[in-house]
């Protein structure tokens, strides 16, 4: 398994002297497995009151990549970033993952049948990118960095592009199951992850993935420290 979070966790666990098994699961199932202690940790989780009942949250935020709306390039010229509520009201077909919290506004909209009827749910985001490319949905919400990397890996960069519509700037966290992980371990994890931010390892791992996307948004986060440098705040 490859990816920014996977590589970050590998490095943290190596420094802690811990073993690691990585699993790829649909998000809804992963949350259930975390709640019941069959999975010890997840990455990319937004903070919600429900999840705080069964999960510890890491306190280290190395990089905040906004949740944005991705659309087809063919629709880019006429796209008006009016907001999720207005888009769904207009009949815009939004592709979403089951049980994913994209923003507070999204969480409220899915409770309203007038808006929820225009949301199509699947378990895996890879399926959403393909649905967007095939005109089965009109947009997909994802972390900017993750989305750019995934559509490039799928060979869809020529068909799908990030829009200017930011859905949420909230940070996403590593989370740990209260059923299987101690708060002391979470503190150790945070200590090592913060050390990686401070010593440049975090930025180096992120750069392995984001530099290949060529996204102009990344330039705003870069500093002059080498090839494709990324400032981690």
Residues 6+ apart with CB under 8 A from 197: 60, 62, 203, 232
User: How many folded domains does the chain comprise?
Assistant: 2
Q: What CATH number should be reported for the domain holding residue 190?
A: 3.40.190.10
Q: What does the chain come to in residues?
A: 233
Q: What is the pLDDT of residues 24-39, one digit of tens each?
A: 898 889 999 999 999 9
Distance CA 34, CA 15 (A): 23
Say if 186 falls within a structural domain: yes
The torsion defined by the Cα of 111, 117, 122 and 123, in degrees rounded to 10, comes to 10
Residue 215: what pLDDT? 57
How many other CB atoms are there within 10 angstroms of residue 54's CB atom?
17
In the numeric block, which tokens belong to residue 103?
């923003």
Does residue 63 surpass a pLDDT of 80? Answer: no
> Confidence band (pLDDT; 50, 70, 90) for 131?
very high
What are the tens digits of pLDDT across the range 2-60? 888 999 999 999 999 999 999 989 888 999 999 999 999 999 898 999 999 999 999 99
In a domain, 228, yes or no: no
Domain that holds residue 20: 4-63+171-219
Residue 112 sits in the same domain as residue 131: yes
Domain boundary among 132, 149, 168: 168
Token pair of 107, please?
A: 């969480």
From residue 218, alpha-carbon distances to 10, 114, 228 in Å are: 24, 36, 9
| Cβ atoms within 10 Å, residue 92 | 18
Question: Is residue 146 domain-shared with residue 89, that is, in the same domain?
Answer: yes
Residue 78 resides in a domain:
yes
The tens digit of pLDDT for each residue in 136-182 reads 999 999 989 889 989 988 999 999 999 999 999 988 899 999 999 99
Indicate whether 224 pLDDT > 60: no
Q: In this prediction, what percent of the chain has a pLDDT beyond 90?
A: 67
Based on the fold, state whether residues 148 and 187 are members of the same structural domain.
Answer: no
Q: Are residues 73 and 125 in the same domain?
A: yes
52/95 same-domain check: no
Note the pLDDT tens digit of each residue in 77-115. Answer: 989 888 899 999 999 999 999 988 899 899 999 999 999
How far apart CA 196 and CA 203 sit, in angstroms, is 8
- Specify whether 161 is located in the same domain as 181: no
32 lies in the same domain as 50: yes
């Amino acid at each position: 398994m490859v990816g920014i979070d996977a590589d970050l966790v590998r490095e943290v666990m190596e420094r802690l002297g811990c073993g690691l098994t990585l699993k790829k699961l649909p998000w809804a199932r992963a949350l259930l497995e975390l709640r019941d202690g069959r999975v010890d940790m997840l990455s990319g989780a937004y903070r919600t009151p429900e999840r705080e009942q069964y999960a510890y949250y890491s306190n280290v935020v190395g990089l905040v990549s906004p949740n944005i709306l991705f659309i087809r390039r063919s629709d880019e010229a006429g796209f008006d970033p009016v907001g999720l509520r207005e888009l769904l009201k207009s009949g815009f077909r939004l592709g979403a993952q089951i049980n994913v919290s994209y923003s507070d506004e999204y969480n409220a909209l899915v409770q309203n049948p007038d808006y929820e009827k225009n949301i199509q749910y699947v378990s895996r985001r890879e399926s959403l990118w393909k649905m967007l490319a095939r005109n089965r949905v009109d947009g997909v919400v994802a972390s900017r960095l993750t989305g750019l990397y995934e559509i490039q890996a799928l060979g869809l960069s020529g068909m799908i592009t990030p829009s200017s519509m930011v859905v949420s700037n909230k940070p996403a966290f590593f989370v740990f199951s209260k059923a299987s992980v101690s708060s002391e371990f979470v503190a150790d994890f945070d200590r090592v992850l913060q050390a990686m931010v401070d010593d440049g390892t975090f930025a180096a791992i992120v750069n392995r993935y984001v530099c290949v996307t060529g996204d102009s948004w990344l330039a705003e986060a870069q500093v002059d420290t080498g090839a494709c440098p990324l400032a981690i705040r």
